Homo-oligomer: A and B are copies of this chain.
Amino acid sequence: MESQRPGDLAQQLGAIVGEENVLANDIPEAYTHDEAIDLPPVQPLAVVFVRSSAQVVELIRWARATRIPIVARGTGTGLSGGARPAREGIVCSFERMNRILSIDTGDLTARVEAGTTLAQLEQALDGTPYFYPVYPGEMSATIGGNIATNAGGMRAVRYGVTRHNVLGLEFVTGTGTALRSGGSYVKTSSGYDLTQLITGSEGTLALVTEVLVRLSLRPRHRRLLLASFLNFQDVAQAVVAISDRGLEPSVMEYMEASGLIAMAQHVDINLGVSAQIMSEASAFLMVELEGMHAGTLDAMTADLIDTLVSTASTEQYLLDEHQRQELIRAREAAFWTVKHLGATTILDTVVPRSKLAPLFDGIAHYGRTSDTLVVGTGHVGDGNVHLSLFAADPQAGAATAKAIIDLALELGGAISGEHGIGVAKRQYLLDQIEPDRLALYRSIKAVFDPQDLLNPGKLL
């Protein structure tokens, strides 16, 4: 790489995107990291705000010539460092490329620029009978960022993760080739599925410029039940009982009692749970049902309560609409709660549903035997467990994190259920990946990005 003076650089980049869309001096601190809590920031050479696919093509051509790497960034809400700048690299921000291009209620699709946030899309759909059901809990996240990590969230148990709700992409590969994939249809058997390959690839294969998502019918009514349990094994059993009942909950979250208390305090809600239950219970299960007809939903809710009573749940609380919204909001804000409390590591491992009980056992064991406090919540209907680790000694915390990931892998799980690998989990991936698989990943990467310009040092 030839060394570049900031002045030259800003000029070259300004020629591509307009000088008002380049930050080369006094780059705000926010652009040196994402929300991963245990990673040092990295200063980029510049931040470029692209506004069109054509500009992205030009930017990548420039990067090919200068060999300066590019890291795509939405609003920087990622939790694994995927959007952390590369050293001596450029941040390509999609914040200003955020138009909603079309909403087609006939086809149940929305076409948006990659920098569109979930909040923007929700606002555009507000008042229509449709919504975009992927709900990672951070509405300021961009759809492009959701594509990068294959974002999931609370409603994935019913609606699937990003992968299941994206129908098509417009993207630019590391060779500067702009292409579209997919279309306004749910099914096709007409070539390799580039949409699926790029979804979850963390900006290492292509820069996504436009996304076609599938909309769902917005449920008219929702009910939220909170059930207390004396131990985690009982929660795991209740999850199976509910799923076998065919009620198709839209949310199925577990929370450690201490986590629920912290969350409730953080957003100041009263859930009506008695002090005795709060002191006895180890864990809570939060189950949301939804439907188009209140009557049908009431019958389903009664069925859910019956099902929970037949499990080892000690108490069940049907929340009112205000409590329901507040508890969902508290769960959404769980990351901010644990960050505020000083969590040192965040994990989001996923295991087969039947392996939740041994995973919980193992987590409790590591919590007891290491100098680390482990507090859990998670999308338990999907086997996806979110853990916050609090360790005074970073080494001890890292060792506990590694032990938990190793256990999840042993149980047939995966490192990350939705946050992605990024930088934060990369060493865990490299520690356990078979050489043949890594070689295949790297060959695929080389097809899309032969010069390793796109998000180098991430994921693989």
A contact residues vs B (CB 8 Å cutoff): 104, 106-109, 129, 149-152, 156, 160-161, 163-164, 173, 177, 179, 183-194, 196-197, 199-201, 205, 217, 219, 240, 243-246, 291-292, 296, 299, 350-355, 379, 382-384, 412-421, 425, 429, 433-434, 436-437, 440-441, 443-444, 447-448, 459-460
Contact = CB atoms under 8 A, between A and B. Distances in A.
Contact of A185 (B193, B200, B414, B429): B414
Contact of A196 (B179, B197, B243, B291): B197
Contacts of A191: 200, 421, 429, 433, 437, 441, 459-460
A437 B179 contact: yes
A429 B188 CA distance: 13
12 contacts: A106-B352, A107-B352, A149-B189, A150-B189, A184-B352, A184-B383, A185-B352, A188-B414, A189-B200, A189-B421, A192-B444, A440-B447
A192 B197 contact: yes
B109 A352 contact: yes
A245 B219 CA distance: 10
A164 B164 CA distance: 7
B417 A188 contact: yes
B183 A352 contact: yes
Contacts of A350: 185, 187-188
Copies of this protein chain in the complex: 2
A416 B189 CA distance: 5
A386 to B, nearest CB: 12
A292 B307 CA distance: 14
A412 B197 contact: no
Contacts of A416: 188-190
Given A104-B354, A106-B240, A352-B109, A419 B189 contact: yes
Contact of A192 (B152, B200, B291): B200
A382 B14 CA distance: 45
From A108, A217, A433, A440, name the one whose CB has the most chain B CB atoms within 10 angstroms.
Answer: A440
A152 B199 CA distance: 22
A188 B205 CA distance: 18
Contacts of A108: 243, 353
Nearest to A439: B177
Contacts of A443: 447
Contacts of A418: 187, 189
Given A190-B416, A414-B190, A447-B447, A351 B185 contact: yes
